[in-house]
Structure 1
Amino acid sequence: MSASADFEVPARLAGAVPFTRYDMGWVVLCIGMAIGAGIVFLPVQVGITGLWVFAASVLLAYPALYFMQNLYLQTLSQSAECENYAGIITQYLGKNWGVFLGILYFFMLVKGMLTYSLAATFDTAKYLQNFGVTTGLLSDSPFFSLGLLLFLVLIAAQGEKIVFKVSSPLVVFKLGVVVLLGIVMIPHWDLAMNLPSLPQIKKFAIDTVLTAPFTLFSIMFVQILSPMNIAFRKVEKDPRIATYRAIRANRIAYFILVVAVLFFAVSFSFALSHEEALSAKEQNISALALASSVIHGDGVLYMSTALNVFAIVTAFLGIYLGLEEAIKGVAMNIITRFIPTERVNKRVVSVGVCLFIVVGLWGWVQTRFSILLLQQLASPIYGIASFIIPCVLVYKVPVLRKFASPKVWYVFLFGLILCLSPVLKAMGY
């Protein structure tokens, strides 16, 4: 069958599974999850390291991501019950492993929420000032960030249906803007200046490793795969069909993102010089903030502003589903050690999780931590939780050994590469 070579669904059954608006909703949400901080900062990194390094990082990262996300869904599909990621791991390896792996998954999601809470707060305040809505920066007031985060969490906490309604038009719009910005950059290409010669081998290898996290994050949406798998399992009686639909949605979103993001990044790298990219790094601004310096006019300014805001908001809404699920999973794992499951008030747990997320993110925003530094320091979390752990599960859990292949080892090695990024930065590269 077409959705997965390793997941068995009868051909007659797979061919009869329609692609519904619900499926499309998850495809859109996956794309919205991916088009966030990664894509807006990727062209800056490409401008610094060069197009050849970016090409190498794409050849390294994109296949690894494709194999990993399929493997991730396949490992989830084999569990008898499907409530949350930590619960699935508990079924495989017991409660202690469930807590440990659930916490790692939690930290991976937390990194995304920390990034988007900072970006949503400071970018929103800056744009309100730039467009003359406010005279000062609202981000200087702690009440602004508290109100904004509470508003976003209240929307996201309503579940995937309301997130679909809020996110879908925004995701379609920002995907269109990504392609359109790439097109309008074409007249400003300067291949002679921005197509560098091949660097020295050692520098080329190091820069490729350092660029790999940015390349990966530009189309990565693994945070939403577990909630998507759970959602399909709830609406589909046959778990094989549920997994087929999840893998199909994952692949459609992946291929759309590869085409759109590669075009966007390459177009920007041909239009922006190395010096402009270095300037953006020093100012801690995104490629979208540089767009107005390359192409003057209100149209580009409005497009880049809208893309930046919508990218952050839709990614925030998408990743919240995964974070809430992860926290609930860890909380339930701990609570049920002391209270029988049937006596736990799940409504109280859900409300407590929402309040915990709002207060935690609000406190984090007050630190004003660097987003770029966070991206660099957090890559090992993704390497371990998203790439290494699914591979370990394949060889540790008997029911998953059927998924063992050279692709699994490739995913594992890429996970190790991601863990090298902060080490190389600490060494001064």
Structure 2
Amino acid sequence: MSTLKPAALARSEARPVVPFTSYDVGWIVLCIGMAIGSGIVFMPVQVGLKGLWVFLAAITLSYPAVYHLQNLFLRTLMQSEVCEDYAGAISHYLGKNWGIALALVYFVMLFGAIVTYATSITYDSASYLQTFHVTDHPLSGNGWYSLALIAVLVAISAQGERLLFKVAGPMVGVKFTIIVAMAVVMVPHWNIQNILRPLDVGNFMRDVVLTLPFALFSILYVQILNPMNIAYRKLESDPRVAAYRIVRANRIAYAVLVVSVLFFACSFAFTISQADARYALEHNVSALAIVARVMPGVWVKAMSVMLDMFAILSAFFGIYLGFHEAVRGILLNVLGRFVRREAMHKSVVNIGVAVAITAMLCIWVSANFSTMLILQITGPIYGITTCLVPCYLIWRVPSLRNLRGWPVWFVSFYGLLLIVSPLFKLFE
């Protein structure tokens, strides 16, 4: 396994141009697909509830923070000598006990994301089937429907990234095109009154902090960065080339997302009223499901359905790679205390993890927890795992001293805001 020393990482930044291949495109597409998921389809609901100015303040804080936290998170993993799973990487820096403890926090973070997508897929698809008169009643309450749907998605996701490039790639391409098209199509339906609501100065900071998780999740793809790091380092024998390709893919995906998501979100903010946003919150559906109901035109409805389902499906495929790796890492960390890793059958472990994930998701979906609430309460977990843990490693581990600088302080501050964000829900 190739390892990346700090000096090698620094030199990788100045390497000559490395060929840009379809494999790089595949990972960039998966990163974009991971980000354009529940965050982007539920963020307009929060914008409609809180107002455009709150949203703009939240993204002014969040979007620079997202770049730096993902960059630091990725680089701490890239410089680890262990490159099999998150638990192993942390164990390399801090020992097995810290490895399992932080791996559990990492698991909770990814669990919150994957159950959000599983719930959205089940309930939004059932809502669309009813809206377009395919069914008389929503199938979301049918346990067999959710089981069949989730089992198929897990079976596809478990095949690995190269199959997902083929399956999710076209979806991401279609939904990215639709994002731009819908943002343009909604322009004639803009209503200035939707953003000219009186500004609640007294609750402005409260609303900004409450909106941080939504702004974060609108372009976040940190969940897929470790699988990408593992894949590139297994592919490339030269750690400098692997580092260059990882960093390049990360930067391209981020730049594309910022431009497209901002245009899309602002267009929605001008289109969806506060009443529409409240309806979406009460019925646990995304903003796109609302657009299919309230905006005229068959093409608008068709585009909203395709974007909603493709966004959530491709994000599910992306998050599964990270979630499977997290569950597998915890399992191997525990079993490794009693059995040598060489004695474990990888295929049996992988099948067992896939079955366990399917069961967990079906149980969660049947409980029908609020997706909007999940996005808010998982903010602290992301604050810990993606902000504070990498910053702690950078200051604690001598081999990571090359990463020290002002971004570490900025990401730490943003992580603390994410941690306290659910407390502001008490003041609504």
Give the shorter-chain TM-score range. over 0.9
Aligned position for 1:9: 11
Distance 1:366 1:214 in 2: 24
Aligned position for 2:227: 227
Judging changes above 3 Å, is the alpha-carbon distance between structure 1 residues 119 and 256 closer, same or farther for their aligned structure 2 residues? Answer: same
Judging changes above 3 Å, is the alpha-carbon distance between structure 1 residues 136 and 280 closer, same or farther for their aligned structure 2 residues? Answer: closer
Aligned position for 2:424: 424
Indicate if the aligned counterparts of 1:120 and 1:313 stay in contact, CA closer than 8 A. Answer: yes
Give SS of 2:98's match: helix
Distance 1:278 1:124 in 2: 20
Aligned position for 2:326: 326
Give SS of 2:359's match: helix
TM-score normalised according to structure 2 size: 0.95
Question: How far off its partner does 1:139 sit?
Answer: 2.3
Q: Deviations over 1:176-230 (max 9, x none)?
A: 1111111111112233552345441x41111110111101100100000000010
Judging changes above 3 Å, is the alpha-carbon distance between structure 1 residues 168 and 5 closer, same or farther for their aligned structure 2 residues? Answer: farther
Indicate if the aligned counterparts of 2:12 and 2:241 stay in contact, CA closer than 8 A. Answer: no
Q: Deviations over 1:283-326 (max 9, x none)?
A: 33322123245530110011101111111111111100000111
Aligned position for 1:77: 78
Question: How far off its partner does 1:175 sit?
Answer: 0.9
Equivalent residue pairs, number:
423
Distance 1:360 1:323 in 2: 12
Aligned position for 1:173: 174
Letter of the structure 2 residue corresponding to residue 309 of structure 1: M
Aligned position for 2:388: 388
Q: Deviations over 1:70-96 (max 9, x none)?
A: 111110111123111111111111100
TM-score normalised according to structure 1 size: 0.95
Is residue 317 of structure 2 the alignment partner of residue 317 of structure 1?
yes
Is residue 117 of structure 2 the alignment partner of residue 106 of structure 1?
no
Letter of the structure 2 residue corresponding to residue 248 of structure 1: R
Question: How far off its partner does 1:133 sit?
Answer: 2.5
Is residue 249 of structure 2 the alignment partner of residue 249 of structure 1?
yes
Indicate if the aligned counterparts of 2:292 and 2:305 stay in contact, CA closer than 8 A. Answer: no
CA RMSD of aligned residues (A): 1.8
Distance 1:316 1:416 in 2: 27
Distance 1:223 1:122 in 2: 23
Distance 1:345 1:6 in 2: 34
Judging changes above 3 Å, is the alpha-carbon distance between structure 1 residues 141 and 293 closer, same or farther for their aligned structure 2 residues? Answer: closer
Question: How far off its partner does 1:64 sit?
Answer: 0.6
Name the stretch that deviates more: 173-182 or 275-284.
275-284
Question: How far off its partner does 1:150 sit?
Answer: 0.8
Q: Deviations over 1:112-171 (max 9, x none)?
A: 111111111122222222223333332222111111111100000000001110000000
Aligned position for 2:37: 36
Give SS of 2:81's match: coil
Letter of the structure 2 residue corresponding to residue 187 of structure 1: P
Letter of the structure 2 residue corresponding to residue 114 of structure 1: V
**Structure 2: stretches of 5+ with no match in the other structure:** 1-5
Distance 1:353 1:292 in 2: 37
Q: What does residue range 90-239 of structure 1 map to in structure 2 within 5 Å?
A: 90-191=91-192, 194-196=195-197, 198-200=199-201, 202-239=202-239
Distance 2:205 2:357 in 1: 39
Distance 1:192 1:354 in 2: 48
Question: How far off its partner does 1:53 sit?
Answer: 1.1
Q: Deviations over 1:317-344 (max 9, x none)?
A: 1100000111111111110100112211
Identity %: 51
Distance 1:30 1:400 in 2: 25
Letter of the structure 2 residue corresponding to residue 251 of structure 1: R
Distance 2:194 2:331 in 1: 54
Question: How far off its partner does 1:364 sit?
Answer: 1.2
Distance 2:245 2:194 in 1: 46
Aligned position for 1:290: 290
